[in-house]
Each structure stands twice: as C-alpha cells, then as structure tokens.
Amino acid sequence: MKAILRATAQALMETCKDLPDDAVMEACDAALQILERSGVTARERSQFLDVVRWLVQENEPFRVSMTTPTGSVGEHARGLSHALETALERNIMLEERADPTLVGGALLRVGDDAYDASFLGALRTLERQLAAP
C-alpha cells in the first residue's frame, strides 16, 4: 500500500505543479477523499500527507544568496546557478544582494551555511591571525 500512496502523492504533485495555490489545496482534499473511499487507514492517510509534504519541500527551490559589492554576479549567474543545482541536486533560487563594504569578492549563503570569499573577509581573517598571540 505504501508504494500506491507514494505514487498517488507523486501524481498529485505532478498534476498540481501548474495550479494556483487555492486549487492545489482543493486537489489535495480530492485526493484524500478518493483514498478514504478506497479504504485507507488513518495511519496510511497520515503517511500520504507526510509524502506530499516531503515532495512539496523537495520541489521547492532552495534559496541561495550571493552578496557582492555591486549586487550582481552578472554573466556568471547562470553558470553559478547550474553548478549549485548540480552540487545540491535541487532547483535553486539565486538571490543577489549588494554590500559595497565587501570591496571585492562575494559572500555565498546556502541554507544555514555561509562561505566568505570577499576581500573584506580575507582582511578580517588576516587581522585575527596577526592579533593572535
């Protein structure tokens, strides 16, 4: 039964991909009604909803933020997005931000991880190393 629930959840997600948010909720309710009429247990219903939630999360673009002095990675945006999607094995949404204090380089935030490849970050690291006993 688990395989049927997963397949139904995947079909539901594929069907709902291009629907507006309010229609997605209606489609989920309809799918649940069909499953309940076919005799699924409360536990199976809960498993179905868990699979739907997981699929929604997996299909949502992963937010990635790139901060540069100008706020634009320019012609490199497409290549960077492709490299990150390949590495993360997920669709991403690249948000570009500006911070002129960086002077050069960039800050990359992927989920909870941050990578500092900025000139300002390098100066701060050097400052800490020189100040260390």
Greater model confidence, 4 or 119: 119
What pTM, to 2 d.p., does this model score? 0.54
pLDDT at 127 over 90: yes
Per mean pLDDT, which range of 32-41, 80-89, 90-99 is the poorest? 32-41
DSSP SS3 for 76: helix
| pLDDT value, residue 59 | 65
Span 29-78, pLDDT tens digits:
788 888 888 888 888 878 777 777 776 666 677 889 999 999 988 888 88
Q: How far apart are CA 104 and CA 106, in angstroms?
A: 7
Token couple for 58? 């997996």
| pLDDT value, residue 58 | 65
What average pLDDT does range 75-104 have in this prediction?
88
| pLDDT value, residue 88 | 83
Token couple for 72? 């634009």
Other CB atoms closer than 10 Å to residue 130's CB: what's the count? 7
| pLDDT value, residue 9 | 76
pLDDT at 1 over 60: no
DSSP SS3 for 20: coil
Bridge pairing between strands 105-110 and 62-68: antiparallel
Q: How far apart are CA 9 and CA 17, in angstroms?
A: 12
Among 103, 98, 97, 113, residue whose Cα is nearest residue 65: 97
Going by pLDDT thresholds of 50, 70 and 90, the confidence category of residue 21 is: low
